[in-house]
């Protein structure tokens, strides 16, 4: 399987090179040359497959023969060795809980898969040390730090916006040490992401550093997110209802993976991209004009993105045909007040504690409208404990800290403060 740049001004590359490069030389995101639907027999019998077997069938065409079957299956086994339960919340509405991994966020899947792929490629090629450079608006940082911790031949540098991630999120990415470095940026997530993109275009830096990215721009971070849409379908298949997924969306990698799952044949009636007031895509769906804006800070901080990178991949899936896109994708935005109100409602009326992002996903389902013939699923992308400063006052209850959080919450934060790209470049060249 080859991958091409969406800017179409760079050579096609293999899966391995797409993983190692992260971003194409023309600054485009990589996209697979072909997408082959899975067989009808696979979907007919999906409930008889293990999650590991499902994940292998889903990903193997994109990896092709660049990772041997035995190694790829071992990578998958280590990537998804936790649960992905569908939990009923209301009649015809349930949540897909994606927070049962080591950092309690959906990004554990992509980060663990990518770390193991990159580790394998480094091992067989005996390449120079790779520096993974990544920007985070919240959960990516902790997931990448955990996924790459101790991986030989890989250093990880994580940029995050100062004061704009939760305490738990910050501890997860600043306390591990070893091959993980946290850089606290005086700015927004968009500033962090711009610095990362600038680094990949800096010929001086690229001449001395083997850089790659672990954001969802990287195909090895993005594509494994298809797995849990299939895991949800496996659990829901026998309900014989049409499925609508509502995905809390910031950089749009997660919902783009869902749309890729649909391209592979997954039966989905509709996808909903639910956002906070950073409403670039809802506005595009209404006006046909894509207009990036400076991001605004909200209580659902992982979605505080003013120029979502992966939306260009969504447009590519639908060949830039806006009418076909609208047939499959709806998008709505919601305020912090609406988010808080529904968090309170879900706790008091449904006995379910949601984090701010999952609450936005639930709001998307309600706005779309779920009838008795439809099963609505909103993605609960992070454990509520990661947002205690928001959740506890709303439900007026203290949440017990899970063991994954207790491991880091009392550790000392270690981060390097910067304000400009020049400071980042100087650090990378020195290190």
State the maximum Cα–Cα separation within the chain, in Å, rounded to a whole number.
Answer: 60
Respond yes or no: is residue 164 known to be catalytic: no
Q: How many CB atoms lie under 10 A from the CB of residue 172?
A: 32
Read off the tokens for 70: 């035995």
Residues whose CB is less than 8 angstroms from the CB of residue 95 and which lie 6 or more positions away in sequence, other chains included: 86, 87, 89, 352, 354, 358, 361, 362, 377, 378, 379, 380
Sheet of strand 242-248: strand arrangement: 86-90, 93-97, 374-380, 242-248, 270-275, 329-333
Residues whose CB is less than 8 angstroms from the CB of residue 344 and which lie 6 or more positions away in sequence, other chains included: 394, 395
Nearest Cα residue to 21 out of 111, 140, 118: 118
121 within 8 A of 231, measured Cβ to Cβ: no
Residue 54's H or E segment, with its range, is: helix 51-63
**The tokens 């409208």 sit on which residue?**
369
Residues whose CB is less than 8 angstroms from the CB of residue 429 and which lie 6 or more positions away in sequence, other chains included: 204, 205, 208, 209
DSSP single-letter state for residue 186: S
Write out the E strands in 6-70: 13-14, 30-32
Which candidate in 33, 40, 73, 107 is catalytic?
107
The pair phi, psi for residue 185, each rounded to 5°, is -100, 130
Read off the tokens for 44: 């007919």
Read off the tokens for 418: 């910067």
Q: What share of the chain is helix, strand, coil (3-state, %, to 5)?
A: 45, 15, 35
Query: Is residue 331 helix, strand or coil?
Result: strand
Q: What is the dihedral of CA 263, 265, 268, 269, to 10 degrees?
A: 80
Report the C-alpha gap between 230 and 84 in whole angstroms.
Answer: 10
Return the active site residues: 107
């Amino acid at each position: 399987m080859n991958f091409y740049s969406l800017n179409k001004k760079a050579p096609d590359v293999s899966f391995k090179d797409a993983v190692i490069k992260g971003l194409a030389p023309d600054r485009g995101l990589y996209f697979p040359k072909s997408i082959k639907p899975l067989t009808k027999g696979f979907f007919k019998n999906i409930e008889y497959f293990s999650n590991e077997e499902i994940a292998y069938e889903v990903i193997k065409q994109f990896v092709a023969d660049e990772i041997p079957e035995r190694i790829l299956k071992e990578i998958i086994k280590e990537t998804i060795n936790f649960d992905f339960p569908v939990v009923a919340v209301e009649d015809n509405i349930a949540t897909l809980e994606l927070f049962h991994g080591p950092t309690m966020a959906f990004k554990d899947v992509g980060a663990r898969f990518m770390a193991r792929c990159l580790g394998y490629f480094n091992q067989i090629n005996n390449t120079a040390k790779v520096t993974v450079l990544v920007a985070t608006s919240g959960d990516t940082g902790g997931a990448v730090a955990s996924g790459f911790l101790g991986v030989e031949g890989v250093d990880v540098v994580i940029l995050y916006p100062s004061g704009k991630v939760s305490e738990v999120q910050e501890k997860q990415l600043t306390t591990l040490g070893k091959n993980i470095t946290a850089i606290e940026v005086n700015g927004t997530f968009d500033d962090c992401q711009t610095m990362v993109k600038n680094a990949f275009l800096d010929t001086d830096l690229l001449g001395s550093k083997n850089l790659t990215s672990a954001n969802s721009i990287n195909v090895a971070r993005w594509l494994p997110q298809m797995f849990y849409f299939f895991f949800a379908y496996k659990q829901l298949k026998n309900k014989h209802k049409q499925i609508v997924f509502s995905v809390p969306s910031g950089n749009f990698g997660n919902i783009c993976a869902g749309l890729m799952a649909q391209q592979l044949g997954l039966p989905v009636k509709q996808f909903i991209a639910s956002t906070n007031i950073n409403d670039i895509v809802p506005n595009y769906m209404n006006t046909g004009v894509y207009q990036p804006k400076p991001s605004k800070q909200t209580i659902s901080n992982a979605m505080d993105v003013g120029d979502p990178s992966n939306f260009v991949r969504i447009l590519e899936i639908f060949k830039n045909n806006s009418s076909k896109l609208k047939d499959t994708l709806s998008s709505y935005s919601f305020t912090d007040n609406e988010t808080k109100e529904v968090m309170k409602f879900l706790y008091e009326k449904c006995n379910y504690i949601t984090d701010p992002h999952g609450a936005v996903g639930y709001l998307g389902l309600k706005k779309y409208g779920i009838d008795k013939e439809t099963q609505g699923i909103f993605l609960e992308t992070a454990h509520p404990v990661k947002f205690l400063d928001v959740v506890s006052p709303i439900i007026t209850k203290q949440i017990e800290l899970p063991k994954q959080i207790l491991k880091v919450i009392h550790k000392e934060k270690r981060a390097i403060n910067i304000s400009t790209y020049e400071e980042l470049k100087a650090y990378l060249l020195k290190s």
